[in-house]
Amino acid sequence: MADELYVGIDVGGTSVKIGVMTKEGDVVAKAGVPTPPLVDEAGYTAVTDGVKSMLESAGVDASLLKGIGLAVPCPVPADGNISVIANLSLNLLGVHDALQASFPGVYVGFLNDANAAAMGELWRGAGAGYNSLVLVTLGTGIGAGVVCDGKVLAGANGAAGELGHVIVNPAESRQCGCGRHGCLEQYASATGIVNSYRMECEKRGSEPVELSGPSDSRSVFEALVVGDEAARAAVDTMAGALGFELANAACSFDPEVFVLGGGVSASAEHYLDRVTEVFKKMTLSCCADTPITVASLGNDAGMLGAAYYAVANA
Amino acid sequence: MADELYVGIDVGGTSVKIGVMTKEGDVVAKAGVPTPPLVDEAGYTAVTDGVKSMLESAGVDASLLKGIGLAVPCPVPADGNISVIANLSLNLLGVHDALQASFPGVYVGFLNDANAAAMGELWRGAGAGYNSLVLVTLGTGIGAGVVCDGKVLAGANGAAGELGHVIVNPAESRQCGCGRHGCLEQYASATGIVNSYRMECEKRGSEPVELSGPSDSRSVFEALVVGDEAARAAVDTMAGALGFELANAACSFDPEVFVLGGGVSASAEHYLDRVTEVFKKMTLSCCADTPITVASLGNDAGMLGAAYYAVANA
């Protein structure tokens, strides 16, 4: 049995994932509870009870627990000052105090979920063995996390590594969800791919394939496979924007490896070569051989990264 | 008298600046020698003798010397592996070994000069009191250095913070010195401002003012003051590109402060308001209040940052 244990908690939109693991990141047990509104005692208790019952059912001696890390879907500044964060459905101070009261003497810390995923991939995933990486999570939107010299970049306002909102096309007329124009997210997220596909169909006067929703990029990739030209164009737009942004990110962070995660990364076979080609063409020559690879931890990345944060800071 | 002393050396194109300072960055003495080719014993001896004679003339007890940092005009990877760096006029391993032989038991370390300047400004300059900053040095070209959580980002290939070569205009047809197209350096360096000015004059059919050379941006700023429309347009192009790049850098590093240095920063009164305006408009709302200010250490920034590197690593 390990002599020290750590808990990683990933607070997602639909579920809270909880894992207990060793100092080396071997998962001893994991569980999930539906995400409650984390703004009152009932919500906090759902989390603290979730941790307690998981420790119990795994037969873990609670005295071995040294730290708890939480990955949360909101910015966390580098100074860790969570009291300044206004969030209607997530009271970080409340969650912190409830966990601290339930586990006295145990370190409790927070980090942003995209940053946690990056740290998780570096620790036990596609970035294992590296000391720096940039993870770009291609989902409904785009999250990103940057690790340099083994540490996550948080930023003064928690906005470091917000690569989904780097503007890659200042000439864009359509507005991004953030209110600005031409963000990477508008082209390379699942939603962005679907939007580009619809525009390309309109331009060609062709009928789009049936889509299950506004971010059903999987159907666009399936259309591409059967020769849909509009799908090809949409995916090329995606690959061009992403390759360009990674080229600029290399001049910014110069990581050892780029990792693509999120639901869209499951279709990487359809664009990874093109992304790499654009990257090599557009980046500084000394960075042209930086590998671009696909994440390996799936939905556990944030939970693992949160636990690592506790290991590093407890 | 201080109980520990550190030497900072800034290897520039024309002179090697050497300073001895306390652990807190108070300069005890400084001197300069013309930059020799640093590839053989004669060159190395010029540097080691320069350090020795400065320590002697300042009446410094050499036993108090704990560390020597060198800022060098070439990339230095995060792992500090200088043996991989090919440079015809600068043999870092040779310089290292010569210094180590002259000062046995003293720490000797290297960092990139733009990164050193950023660290110097954070330690004793416009970034004093902050824990993170992005310094953009606007000279003949553009150098940049990034400090996050008190540490310089070097990058896997020494290319972190190469913001002069972030592509801000992928549609550019003219080629940058690096062989790519649309780098920040093409618009916001002294050379870039002069090029834009000449293009604007040509477009208007107006006669450019007399320029002393291809990077005489000072004359362009003087022309602007007396109402030269082409100069106004060139400086607007510069401010637009720089403001845009800082907006994206905020989504990447989210520093507490941006600092502008280099010769062009002496004319900041002519563009700082416009840079700030573009920045505020184009960055994420949470970063819109990040200050953009002017460097204060002038040519001593690299020397100070090099000494700080020795303080931090000795």
- Testing the interface with A: which of B151, B242, B254 to mutate, by most A Cβ within 10 A? B254
In a domain, A125, yes or no: no
How confident is the model at residue A3, as a pLDDT? Answer: 86
Domain that holds residue B46: 5-119+300-313
Closest residue by Cα to residue A163 from A280, A79, A241, A279? A241
Q: Which residues of B touch A171 (CB under 8 A)?
A: 171
In a domain, B124, yes or no: no
In a domain, A23, yes or no: yes
Considering CB atoms only, which of B148, B284, B290 is closest to A165? B284
* A37 and A139 fall within a common domain: no
* A106 and A138 fall within a common domain: no
* B104 and B47 fall within a common domain: yes
If pLDDT is split at 50, 70 and 90, which confidence band does A73 have? confident
Over residues A123-146, mean pLDDT: 95
Residues A220-276 have pLDDT tens digits of: 999 999 999 999 999 999 999 999 999 999 999 999 999 999 999 999 999 999 999
- pLDDT for residue A309 is more than 90: yes
Q: Which residues of B touch A149 (CB under 8 A)?
A: 78, 151, 153
In a domain, B77, yes or no: yes
Cβ of B166 within 8 Å of Cβ of A248? The answer is yes
- Testing the interface with B: which of A74, A146, A185, A254 to mutate, by most B Cβ within 10 A? A254
Considering CB atoms only, which of A159, A251, A286 is closest to B286? A159
Q: Could you tell me which chain B residue has the CA closest to the CA of A258?
A: B156
Instruction: Divide the 314 residues of chain B into consecutive groups of 10 and give the mean pLDDT of each group.
Output: 89 90 94 89 94 91 93 81 64 92 95 94 96 96 94 92 94 92 96 97 97 96 97 98 98 97 96 98 95 96 96 92
The answer to whether residue A313 neighbours chain B at the CB level (below 8 Å) is: no
How many Å lie between the alpha carbon of B166 and the closest alpha carbon of chain A? 5
* A64 and A178 fall within a common domain: no
Instruction: Give the containing element (helix H, strand E) for B141.
Output: none
* A85 and A160 fall within a common domain: no
Side by side, the strands of the sheet bearing B142-148 are: B151-152, B142-148, B133-138, B257-261, B292-294
How confident is the model at residue B87, as a pLDDT? Answer: 58
Q: Could you tell me which chain B residue has the CA closest to the CA of A131?
A: B156
The answer to whether residue B159 neighbours chain A at the CB level (below 8 Å) is: yes
How many Å lie between the alpha carbon of B32 and the closest alpha carbon of chain A? 32
Q: Which residues of B touch A157 (CB under 8 A)?
A: 254, 286-287, 290
Considering CB atoms only, which of A151, A165, A171 is closest to B149? A151
In a domain, A232, yes or no: yes
How many Å lie between the alpha carbon of A255 and the closest alpha carbon of chain B? 6
Cβ of A290 within 8 Å of Cβ of B179? The answer is no
- pLDDT for residue A209 is more than 60: yes
Instruction: Give the containing element (helix H, strand E) for B314.
Output: none
Cβ of A78 within 8 Å of Cβ of B149? The answer is yes
Size of interface A-B (CB pairs under 8 A): 132
* Backbone CA torsion sign across B194, B247, B152, A290: negative
Pairing type for strands A151-152 and A5-11 reads unpaired
How confident is the model at residue B279, as a pLDDT? Answer: 98
Q: Which residues of B touch A153 (CB under 8 A)?
A: 148-149, 253-254
How many Å lie between the alpha carbon of A194 and the closest alpha carbon of chain B? 24
How confident is the model at residue A61, as a pLDDT? Answer: 87
Considering CB atoms only, which of B161, B162, B252 is closest to A166? B252
If pLDDT is split at 50, 70 and 90, which confidence band does A12 have? confident
* Residues 249-308 (B) with a CB less than 8 A from some CB of A: 249-256, 282, 284-287, 290
Q: Could you tell me which chain A residue has the CA closest to the CA of B281?
A: A180
How confident is the model at residue B85, as a pLDDT? Answer: 57
Mark out the alpha helices in chain B (DSSP H runs).
41-57, 92-102, 113-124, 185-188, 190-204, 217-225, 229-252, 272-282, 301-313
In a domain, B170, yes or no: yes
How confident is the model at residue A84, as a pLDDT? Answer: 57
Q: Which residues of A touch B158 (CB under 8 A)?
A: 254, 286
- Testing the interface with A: which of B148, B183, B292 to mutate, by most A Cβ within 10 A? B148
Helices and strands counted in chain B (H then E): 9, 10
**CATH code of the domain covering residue B31:** 3.30.420.40
Please report how many Cα atoms fall inside a 13 Å half-sphere around the Cα of residue B245, on the Cβ side.
34
How many Å lie between the alpha carbon of B154 and the closest alpha carbon of chain A? 8
Q: Which residues of B touch A135 (CB under 8 A)?
A: none
Cβ of B153 within 8 Å of Cβ of A148? The answer is yes
Cβ of B167 within 8 Å of Cβ of A282? The answer is yes
How confident is the model at residue A1, as a pLDDT? Answer: 57
Could you give the number of structural domains in chain A? 2
* B10 and B138 fall within a common domain: no
Residues A284-308 have pLDDT tens digits of: 999 999 999 999 999 999 999 999 9
In a domain, A149, yes or no: yes
Considering CB atoms only, which of A148, A156, A166 is closest to B251? A166
In a domain, A24, yes or no: yes
Considering CB atoms only, which of A151, A159, A290 is closest to B250? A159
Q: Which residues of B touch A249 (CB under 8 A)?
A: 252
Cβ of A132 within 8 Å of Cβ of B156? The answer is yes
How many Å lie between the alpha carbon of B29 and the closest alpha carbon of chain A? 34
* B77 and B150 fall within a common domain: no
Q: Which residues of A touch B170 (CB under 8 A)?
A: 244, 282
Q: What is the ipTM of this complex?
A: 0.91
How confident is the model at residue A129, as a pLDDT? Answer: 95
If pLDDT is split at 50, 70 and 90, which confidence band does A160 have? very high
* A41 and A161 fall within a common domain: no
* A188 and A248 fall within a common domain: yes
* B25 and B114 fall within a common domain: yes
* B280 and B165 fall within a common domain: yes
Least confident range of A65-79, A98-112, B136-150, B175-189 = A65-79
* Residues 63-122 (A) with a CB less than 8 A from some CB of B: 75, 78
* A112 and A161 fall within a common domain: no
